[in-house]
Amino acid sequence: MALLQISEPGLSTAPHQHRLAVGIDLGTTNSLVATVRSGLAVVLDDEAGRSLLPSVVRYHPDGKVDVGYTAQSAQNADPHNTVVSVKRFMGRGIADIDDIASLPYRFVDAPGMVQLKTAAGVKSPVEVSAEILRVLRQRAEAAMGGELVGAVITVPAYFDDAQRQATKDAAQLAGLNVLRLLNEPTAAAIAYGLDNGSEGVYAVYDLGGGTFDISILKLSKGVFEVLATNGDSALGGDDFDQRIFCWMLEQGRFAPLSAGDARLLLTKARDAKEALTEHTEVRVTAVLSTGEMMDATLTQAEFNKMTASLVSKTLAPTRKALRDAGLSADEVKGVVMVGGSTRMPCIRQAVADFFKQTPLTNLDPDKVVALGAATQADVLAGNRGGEDWLLLDVIPLSLGLETMGGLTEKVIPRNTTIPTARAQDFTTFKDGQTAMSVHVLQGERELAADCRSLARFELRGIPPMVAGAARIRVTFQVDADGLLSVSAREQSSGVEASVQVKPSYGLGDEEITRMLKDAFTHAKGDMYARALNEQIVDAQGLIAATRAALAEDGALLNAEETAAIEASIADLEKLLAGTDHQAIKRGVEALNAATTEFAQRRMDQNVRRAMAGQKLETFG
């Protein structure tokens, strides 16, 4: 792949300069951070040598926040203020949460995303997740001795746009530069080193604490191409705990439970489930705060029976993914198991039966995603040369619009390779109609009401015409993170409107700003100093990269164009001597704008080189 080296000259990275980048697995139950050291992906441990960070956040009345093991140990004693499995609430409204009655939280039904009332105030799941990410960022910066240039954050492949956007917002809130949102099964595929000479079709079966993904990937010549993905973003190990919890209620015949007792039983349920991985039966005992007791034995056979419907709930998406990929189970060369829940013998057996082969379990299912994310972060940060692989991922759920009669019109079908863009033309329904409401949806169902509502916006100022005469082109663009933006334009008048798909399920920029302020009042860092510092680093990087590009491809510009870019660099350098971070930000934007045409010419050159190489290869 020598041609890749030509097109990827490692512009801004001097050989001695290793850019610090991490991969973060923000899990339902546990989270991890990993990085690449001397070419090897490693998980970073805390001071006590523990690699997992329980995804548990406890809020104290004075605003102090505990994250991880400390918070976890308080969950029974302080259930209202100790948030576990917050990932299940990301980008979700109250109506989306099935088992709301058995959860000990005080939910607040906020528009778009549910919020939680804690001793330290009302918190959004984005803020709770940001607390976890912040601890991981600090752990990484301490271990690596410097500021991170960026992070790859993993998300379940089946996460919809609202859940992805919420995750990206959380990272931003935690002060992380997101290099990419990466799908968990795809990260696992990288970590398995399936690129090492492996060719063919692989399935990644990823059952975590709260989410299930199945991805079918084709590997060939250093390219990981996701053919299809499916899953259930509300199915995971927690549901298995819930089944044992219900069994315990039957066994104990308890009076209505307090929040603390409910949490105690859920914790016991999880312990029992984990014990059944190694043993054929487990004794389950509990003493509640009321003095009520239970003492019973749960066998693996009983457990398998009570969870059989959950196991089969993972096989239906598996069949769909295979069908979307146009493949049958026997065409799959290997099955990779990911996620702590795949330790359960009933899961391993079901997967082995379905694919008629023993699944691959040689990497720690808890760590494999973080390791893959770290490896990809290393590539994206520009720390590698030409031996990189390429990931071609897809969107998990169709994107569309609501049309007359409350129906869904699909604009981009599921399993479309990203980045992608599609336009669809619509027209007016009434004579003289001057506005049109655009309702953006995600999902496979025919009725708009059954799909997830991502955003609504209005295109106004359409010139009055007879019904059906206007031509309104709605364009969907999905970027490499799988995030959607939508714009609408009336073709004859040029009237335009667009949205970053955030308002209805994500957070507005103002809300993010408020949260950032809140976060910094409790943190040691000075917000202004940090913002300035980040802006300076950003600007210096941009100047270095632009200079390197000029040195390499200056021939693509005429003297005048070169002078304009150099003037823009000089302006920015002047601003860097000062301390106005807003001005520096504007200078960065100006330099970016000044180099747009140059970037396009460089890319054209890349393409010509790639195609020249292609023809050489083809014709010898």
Catalytic residue annotation: 25, 87, 184, 206
Distance CA 113, CA 454 (A): 11
- Rounded distance, CA 332 to CA 520, Å? 49
Contact 234, 88 (CB under 8 A): yes
Residue of the chain from 100, 223, 255, 469 that contacts other proteins (CB under 8 A): 223
Cβ proximity to other proteins, 361 vs 605, nearer residue: 605
Q: Shortest approach of other proteins to residue 380 CB, angstroms?
A: 4
Kindly write out the interface string for residues 47-86 of this chain, putting x where it contacts other proteins by CB under 8 A and - elsewhere. ----------------------------------------
Beta-bridge mates of residue 477: 421, 485
Q: If binding is defined by CB under 8 A, does position 583 make contact with other proteins?
A: no
Site track 182-221 with other proteins (rule: CB under 8 A), x = hit: --------------------------------------xx
Find the part of the chain contacting other proteins (CB under 8 A) among 154-162, 300-308, 512-520, 588-596. Answer: 588-596
Q: Are 472 and 459 in contact (CB under 8 A)?
A: yes
Subset of 10-29 contacting other proteins (CB under 8 A): 11-13, 19
Q: Are 28 and 87 in contact, with CB atoms under 8 Å apart? A: yes
Q: Which residues of 436-454 are buried (b: 16+ CB within 10 A; e: fewer)?
A: bebbbbbbeeeebeebbbb
Residue 449 sits in the site that holds other proteins (CB under 8 A): no
Q: What is the per-residue DSSP string for 121-151?
A: EEE-HHHHHHHHHHHHHHHHHHHHTS--SEE
Distance CA 248, CA 303 (A): 12
Residue 619 Cβ vs other proteins, minimum distance, rounded to whole Å: 10
Q: Which of residues 359-418 bind other proteins (CB under 8 A)?
A: 376, 379-382, 388, 390-392, 416-418
Task: Using the rule CB under 8 A, give the single segment among 334-342, 401-409, 515-523, 591-599 that binds other proteins.
Answer: 591-599
Q: Scanning residues 317 to 356, which ones bind other proteins (CB under 8 A)?
A: 319-320, 323
d(CA 488, CA 476): 9
Check binding of 147 to other proteins (CB under 8 A).
no
Site for other proteins in 301-320 (CB under 8 A): 316, 319-320
One-letter amino acid of 530: R
Angle subtended at Cα 560 by Cα 557 and Cα 561, rounded to the nearest 5 degrees: 45
Residue 70 identity (one-letter amino acid): T
Report, in Å, the least distance between residue 81 CB and other proteins: 38
Q: Report in angstroms how near the CB of residue 340 gets to other proteins at its nearest.
A: 27
- Minimum CB distance to other proteins, residue 597 (Å): 9
Alpha carbon of 154 to those of 218, 481, 518, 542, 605: distances in Å?
20, 10, 26, 26, 33
Task: Name the one range near other proteins by CB under 8 A: 50-58, 197-205, 520-528, 594-602.
Answer: 594-602
Integer Cα distance of 515 and 170 in angstroms: 10
Interacting residues of 438 by C-beta distance below 8 A, sequence separation 6+: 401, 456, 457, 458, 459, 474, 486, 488, 497
Q: Rule CB under 8 A: is residue 4 a binding residue for other proteins?
A: yes
Which residues, other chains included, contact 309 with Cβ-Cβ below 8 Å and sequence gap of 6+?
none
Q: Is 2 in the site for other proteins (CB under 8 A)?
A: no
Enumerate residues 539-568 that contact other proteins by CB under 8 A: 542, 545-546, 549
- Work out whether 421 is an interface residue with other proteins (CB under 8 A): yes
Question: Counting contacts by CB under 8 A, is residue 149 touching other proteins?
Answer: yes
Instruction: Specify the residue, 469 or 610, whose C-beta has the smaller distance to other proteins.
Output: 610
Shortest Cβ 578–other proteins spacing (Å): 22
DSSP 15: T
CA atoms of 327 and 161, how far apart (whole Å): 27
Q: Give the count of residues interacting with other proteins (CB under 8 A).
A: 63
Q: How far apart are CA 65 and CA 120, in angstroms?
A: 9
Binding site for other proteins (CB under 8 A): 1, 3-4, 7-8, 11-13, 19, 149-150, 179-180, 220-221, 223, 316, 319-320, 323, 376, 379-382, 388, 390-392, 416-421, 477, 479-480, 542, 545-546, 549, 591-593, 595-596, 598-600, 602-604, 606-607, 609-611, 613-615, 617-618
